[in-house]
Structure 1
Amino acid sequence: MFAAENGLKGDPRLQAISEAIRVVPHFPKPGIMFQDITTLLLDHKAFKHTVDIFVDRYRDMDISVVAGEVISEAYELEYGTDCLEMHVGAVQPGERALIIDDLIATGGTLSAAITLLDLV
């Protein structure tokens, strides 16, 4: 769906990216197919493809900052809870931010990130 919607269907970079991501079955609990991107980060070519696709997709958007990691927001995961943090001052009022979530299962991380940005 992402590939077709963004003109990437058949793009060989997506295959390289997919092959670089390690799938850990039944982690952290049965039924979860965890997508471990640390192997992608170690594959320089596949990681470059990932960055290039992001750059191509967001190049023409007026994004002021990419939110990093320390105000915090707790959130629910499919298998427990966690906490998201962001540096105070990383985003200024009125700036536009891009949120990138490497895995969306329940939307909790994305929701927490939005809550943090709303606090600015």
Structure 2
Amino acid sequence: MDIKEHIRQIPDFPTPGILFYDISTLLADADAWQVTMGRLANAVRSHQPDVLVGIESRGFLVAAPLALKLGCGFVMARKRGKLPGKTVRYEYSLEYGTDIIEMQEDAIAPGQRVVVLDDLLATGGTMAAAVALSRQMGAEVTGAACIIELSFLGGRNKLDIPVTSVVAYDE
């Protein structure tokens, strides 16, 4: 199955000149979603994760069902101020400033094997930050995965772990 056929492309969203890759059409097709999750499960399983970290917010849609399928835990990496209780934060640079992601203080136990997931890998900044935050919490980060990779943006070059994508766009 060609998963690209189930991903809608929306020009000029959220701003002019941006081509948005919309996974809502993929999520709405039960067969395509099942195939996508199967491909991710096969790739992620080899990393033997204890926990999957999903990046806010569409990464939750990827990591939570995959964690259930693989029988491991699921942890949310969220923007500052979105999680209750004590959190651990990581500040990282963006093209236009800085941002902060957080996880709950007790979400990852030191030494746990972690795979970080998102729906899309573009420039790699947020994925690299989630990897760094997981390591800061004591995790052994064994890989990263996403549904869509915009390979022409070189995001995987910011990561020092194996990266799996279900589909890649070269331009």
**As a proportion of its length, which structure holds more strand?**
2
Contact 2:47–2:115, Cα closer than 8 Å, also in 1? no
The letter for the 1-side match of 2:134 is: L
Pair 1:84 & 2:101 matched: yes
Structure 2 residues without counterparts, runs of 5 or longer: 54-74, 77-82, 138-171
Per the normalisation by structure 1, the TM-score is: 0.71
Matches for 1:1-120 after TM superposition, within 5 Å: 12=1, 15=2, 17-67=3-53, 68-69=75-76, 70=83, 71-76=88-93, 83-120=100-137
Q: For each residue in 1:29-73, what CA deviation from the matched residue of structure 2 results, as whole angstroms up to 9, or x when unmatched?
A: 232211122222222111111110011122233211101214343
**Which residue identity lines up with residue 104 of structure 1 in the other structure?**
L
> What's the offset of the Cα at 1:117?
0.6
Larger Rg computed on CA atoms: 1
Q: Aligned partners of 1:48 and 1:110: how far apart in 2? A: 24
Give the percent of matched residue pairs that are identical in Structure 1 and Structure 2: 42
- 1:67-93 Cα deviation digits (max 9, x unpaired): 121434354556776543323322211
- Superposition CA RMSD, Å: 2.3
Counterpart contact for 1:65–1:95, Cα < 8 Å: yes
Aligned length: 106
C-alpha distance in 2 between matches for 1:38 and 1:64 = 28
Match of 1:54, as an amino acid? L
